Structure formats: C-alpha cells, structure tokens
Amino acid sequence: EAQVTQNPRYLITVTGKKLTVTCSQNMNHEYMSWYRQDPGLGLRQIYYSMNVEVTDKGDVPEGYKVSRKEKRNFPLILESPSPNQTSLYFCASGDSHSYNEQFFGPGTRLTVL
Amino acid sequence: GNSVTQMEGPVTLSEEAFLTINCTYTATGYPSLFWYVQYPGEGLQLLLKATKADDKGSNKGFEATYRKETTSFHLEKGSVQVSDSAVYFCALSGAQFYFGTGTSLTVIP
C-alpha cells in the first residue's frame, strides 16, 4: 500500500530534550516536506526537500533541522525543543515532476512541557 | 510573497444545501492551486487541483475554477452530504507550498 508513515504518532517531552520524528514514504517520491498545523494558522511549511541531499527552508524553519540521506526518509529533528513547538506535525511527499499532489502522513502530536 | 486567504469558518449547512468556500491568493509567477480536505484525526488528502488559469478542478461533486483575473479559487458543491463534514484547505504551490488557515464544514441531516 502506498503510504507516508510517521513515528511516533504522539509524543510528550520536556524542554531541551532532543527528539527526532521519523518520516518514510514507499512511493519513490523525490519531493518531501514537513508542516506544522496550529489552530487559526493552518499548515505552515517547515522544510522541504526536492531530492536526496537537497533541503530548503520553508516559512518556519527556526528550531528545526532535517536531513535527506535516502530518498524514502526525511526525519525532523528538534535539537532543543521549546513549548512553542507544541503542535501537530505532518510529513508529506510528492512527485517532483509536477510537485503537485502531496501525500500526507497521519500526523504526529507533539507536546513540549 | 506568496499567500493564501480563505474564508473563515466554521460553516454549518443542512444536507443538500449549496456550498461555497472562498479562497483568494497572492503569488508571483503561475502557481498550481489545490483544495485539500482533512477528516477528523487524519492527514490531508487532495480533493482537487488546477494547474493553469481557467482550469476547472473537480472531484466527488466539488468544483473550483482557477481565476487569474480575480486571483481566486473558490470551492463549490451543489448538494452537500453529512459525509462532507471536514476541514477544507486551499493551497498554492511552486517548489514551496502555502496553505490557507482552513475552513471547518459541518453538515447536519
């Protein structure tokens, strides 16, 4: 089944404790992206990647890191999480030939205390 | 810069009513435009798209037309069903994606 998977789905952590949210897709997509969803703000793009070893900042990259060492994986790293990073995070992937439709993962609910 | 503005919600309609959710955009160049839908507890799914001016995207009875002259991409459906209850997001893309704030729709029997 074609899908984007994220882990964990739910995470409660404390300020300053490094964490990684994994994202994997099995559709051989070149384009991958991370978003955060906050009430009243919609989805905002954090980082995106057009291909392996190519990453670019979105609208809200501060406090996040990403890497794209393999085509299928695009982990999101929070080196020192803060409470303002409490949010719902979505990973997505798409075919960069049109970079049109994106396929979204199920989301990761992160709470930073 | 690029941005998307969509109608504030929530919207509550009776079954079989007509739906319009307004979306306008600001963009440089010629972006593609999308409507995504999010059902409770799930990620977003593509509902429809249009890649150039005057294109009409359609799916599951929903339609939207890419209007360059008014920089709009309004979502419409002639007769909504309870199963259409969800949050709808307008979006535009180049290499980077921009989403609106979402419009929550509830359809009551």
Inform me whether the C-beta atom of residue A42 falls under 8 Å from chain B C-beta atoms: yes
- Non-local CB neighbours of A24 within 8 Å, separated by 6+ positions: A4, A5, A72, A73, A74
User: Percentage of residues in chain A with pLDDT exceeding 90?
Assistant: 88
Nearest-CB residue to B43 (from A48, A56, A107): A107
Instruction: Name the pLDDT band for B28 (thresholds 50, 70, 90).
Output: confident
Side-chain-side CA neighbours of residue A20 (13 Å): 8
Instruction: Name the pLDDT band for B42 (thresholds 50, 70, 90).
Output: confident
Structure tokens, A112:
């930073």
Instruction: Name the pLDDT band for A101 (thresholds 50, 70, 90).
Output: confident
Angstroms from B97 CA to nearest CA on chain A: 7
For range A79-98, the mean pLDDT: 90
pLDDT digits (tens, 9 = 90+) for A2-18: 899 999 999 999 999 99
Structure tokens, B24:
């306008």
CB contact under 8 A, A104 and B101: no
Nearest-CB residue to B32 (from A42, A92, A100): A100
CA closest to B41 among chain A residues: A106
Q: What are phi and psi for residue B43, nearest 5 degrees?
A: -80, 180
d(CA A82, CA A90): 18
pLDDT digits (tens, 9 = 90+) for A21-32: 999 999 999 999
